[in-house]
Amino acid sequence: MAEKQEIITDYVDIPINTPLELIPKKVAQVTNGFKSHKTLSLEFRREQLRNLYYAIYDNMDLLKETLKLDLNKSSLEANLSEIAYVLKEIYYFIDNLDRLAEPESAPIEFFMRPSTANIEKHPLGTVLVISPWNYPVLLSLSPVASAIAAGNTVVLKVSELSPHTSRAIVMLLQAHLDPEIFVGITGAIPESTALLKEKFDKIMYTGNGNVGRVVARAATNNLTPVILELGGKSPAIITKNANLYLAARRLLWGKQMNAGQTCVAPDYILIEESIKDSFIKELKLAHDEFYPNDLDKDTEWYGHIINKKHYNRLKEILNTTKGKIVVGGGTDDSSKFIAPTFIEGITSTDSLMQDEIFGPLIGIITVADVDEAITFIEREHDTPLALYIFSNDVKEQREIVSKTRSGAVGINDPMVHVSLMNAPFGGVGQSGYGAYHGKDGFEAFSHRRTVFSQSAIIEPLFGMRYPPYNKSKETQYRLVAMPPKPWFARKGPVRKSLFRRLFTLRNILFLGLARLIMTFLYPRIEEHLDFDVLVQDFQNLLLYVWGLGVAFVNFWRNIDWDEYGRGDLYDRQLNGQTN
Distance (Å, whole) CA 413 – CA 135: 20
Quote the Cα angle for 269-404-143, to 5°: 85
- Largest interatomic CA distance in the chain: 91
229, 272, 282, 344: the active-site residue? 229
φ, ψ dihedrals at 426, nearest 5°: 180, 175
Secondary structure element (H or E) that encloses residue 450, with its range: strand 446-453
Cα separation, 366 vs 345, whole angstroms = 8
CA distances, 284 to each of 289, 331, 372, 479, 481 (Å) = 9, 18, 26, 74, 69
CA distance 488 to 500: 11
Which residues touch 382 (CB under 8 Å, ≥6 apart)? 404, 405, 429
Q: Does an H or E element contain 56, and which? A: helix 42-57
Q: Is 6 a catalytic residue?
A: no
Peptide bond into 114 cis (omega under 30): yes
State the Cα–Cα distance between residues 320 and 330, nearest whole angstrom.
15
378 carries an active-site annotation: no
Burial class (CB in 10 A: 0-12, 13-18, 19+), 168: buried
| The amino acid at 338 | I
Give CA–CA dist 131/211, Å, rounded. 12
User: 312-320, long-range: CB within 8 Å, 24+ apart, which pairs?
Assistant: 313/359, 314/338, 314/357, 314/359, 314/360, 314/361, 316/351, 317/351, 317/352, 317/357, 317/359, 317/361, 318/361, 320/351
Distance CA 45, CA 53 (A): 12
CA distance 430 to 338: 28
Which residue in 111, 102, 164, 105 sits closest to 136, CA to CA?
A: 164
> Among 82, 263, 282, 344, which one carries the catalytic annotation?
263
CB 274 within 8 A of CB 240: yes
Q: Is-contact 90 49, C-beta < 8 A?
A: yes
Whole-angstrom CA distances from 425 to 78, 142, 215, 356, 454 are 20, 11, 20, 19, 38
Cite the active site residues.
229, 263
